[in-house]
Amino acid sequence: MSSATKPHDPQAHRRPFHLAFPVHDLAAARAFYGGLLGCPEGRSSPEWIDFDLYGHQVVAHLAPEECRKAATNAVDGDAVPVSHFGVVLPMAEWEALAAKLQAVGTRFIIEPHIRFKGLPGEQATLFFLDPSGNALEFKAFADLNQLFAKQ
């Protein structure tokens, strides 16, 4: 079977991704990503900060003029921000993160819940904003093989 025809294995080794995004204030980004989310900090300058988000390199760049509210699309009854990023976690880690965020009074734009209940791709999801208005989604699957399941 050629690599073009092999079935996708969502549990295969993943390579870290790199994502750069705008923030209006680096100190607020440091408190949010480093403090609240516990992301270790990497390199930084007066204009940007690298963070380790579950093994992925995300970089907050100081660019207040680029910070704006994201458009939304309907997904299973929720208004999902079109521009967002996050991580697919094991269910127990997702539950712990949801509980931690609820305990500190996080204002969710989409409360923690199960999306596509009983359907292919069923997943736990939650959305919230960083201090610059960037939307983050954290999700989990009871069965990670459902990550790319079609409905």
For residue 7, tell me if it sits in a domain.
no
Does residue 8 lie in a domain region? no
pTM surpassing 0.95?
no
Evaluate whether residue 34 is within a structural domain: yes
Question: Is the residue at 4 inside a domain?
Answer: no
**Is 106 within 8 Å of 35 (Cβ atoms)?**
no
* Structural domain contains residue 2: no
Give residue 11's pLDDT.
57
Q: Is residue 40 part of a domain?
A: yes
Q: Quick check: 133 pLDDT over 60?
A: yes
Number of domains in the chain: 1
Cα–Cα distance for residue pair 114/76, rounded to 1 Å: 10
How do residues 70-129 score in pLDDT, each as one tens digit?
899 999 999 999 999 999 999 999 999 999 999 999 999 999 999 999 999 999 999 999
Rounded-to-10 torsion of CA 127, 129, 134, 137: -20
Residue at 9 is within a domain: no
Give residue for tokens 């009871």.
142
Return the CATH number at 113: 3.10.180.10
* Mean pLDDT, the chain, integer: 92
H runs (alpha helix) in 1-151:
26-29, 91-103
DSSP-assigned beta bridge partners for residue 126: 138
* Overall average pLDDT of the 12-30 stretch: 92
Q: Which domain holds residue 89?
A: 18-146
Is the residue at 26 inside a domain? yes
